[in-house]
């Protein structure tokens, strides 16, 4: 009888943790799980993926924020224009190298992915699930690499124009 109760308790715990979390919406810096709130505010977007954990903090007094930001602006070290141009140039070179690496990786992944039908490897011939798992992983890696490339291009576009190049009108 004791085993039966333990089994029932264990099954209840598993059922409680196995339930899906309601849809979560992000509205600016706030999160909600009620659809009316999300629909009334056009800036709300559905959060996809893992669970969302929000930790409430204490609000920062506005007077202390303005004092610290004002004092930091006056005492911040300044970099002369020539040194900043060198830093920007170095950053551009580093980002362009990373972009080339990401583009090479993307080409390799596309070749391996083969439009969603990569060649089966040894153990995958007998275990179709292994093949499906590898295809899903390749697809996720493709998406991640494309996202990385887009991010690197955004970072490069944010940098000041390189010396000797003119901005497009």
Q: Which of 23, 5, 165 is nearest to 96 (CA)?
A: 165
Extents of the domains making up the chain: 81-158
In this predicted structure, what is the pLDDT of residue 77?
A: 81
Q: Which of 29, 27, 23, 28 is nearest to 51 (CA)?
A: 23
Q: What is the pLDDT of residues 90-116, one digit of tens each?
A: 999 999 999 999 999 999 999 999 988
Global pTM reads 0.51
Helix (H, G, I), strand (E, B) or coil at 144: helix
Q: Distance between CA 43 and CA 45 in Å, rounded? A: 7
Adjacent-strand bridge partners of 30:
27
Helix (H, G, I), strand (E, B) or coil at 46: strand
Q: What is the pLDDT of residues 119-151, one digit of tens each?
A: 988 888 899 999 999 999 999 999 999 999 999
- Judged against a pLDDT cut of 80, whether residue 80 lies above it is answered with yes
pLDDT category of residue 58 using cuts at 50, 70 and 90? confident
pLDDT category of residue 45 using cuts at 50, 70 and 90? confident
Q: Let me know: does 91 contact 98? Beta carbons within 8 Å.
A: no
- Judged against a pLDDT cut of 60, whether residue 4 lies above it is answered with no
């Amino acid at each position: 009888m004791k085993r039966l109760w333990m089994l029932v308790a264990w099954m209840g715990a598993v059922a409680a943790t196995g339930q899906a979390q309601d849809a979560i919406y992000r509205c600016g810096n706030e999160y909600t799980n009620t659809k009316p709130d999300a629909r009334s505010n056009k800036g709300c977007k559905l959060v996809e993926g893992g669970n969302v954990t929000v930790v409430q903090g204490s609000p920062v007094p506005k007077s202390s924020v303005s004092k610290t930001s004002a004092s930091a602006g006056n005492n911040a070290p300044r970099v002369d224009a020539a040194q900043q141009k060198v830093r920007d140039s170095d950053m551009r070179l580093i980002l362009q190298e990373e972009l080339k690496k990401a583009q090479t990786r993307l080409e390799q992944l596309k070749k391996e992915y083969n439009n969603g039908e990569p060649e089966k490897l040894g153990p995958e011939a007998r275990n179709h699930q292994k093949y499906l798992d590898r295809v899903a992983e390749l697809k996720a890696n493709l998406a991640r690499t494309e996202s990385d490339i887009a991010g690197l291009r955004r970072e490069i576009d944010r940098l000041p124009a390189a010396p000797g190049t003119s901005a497009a009108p």
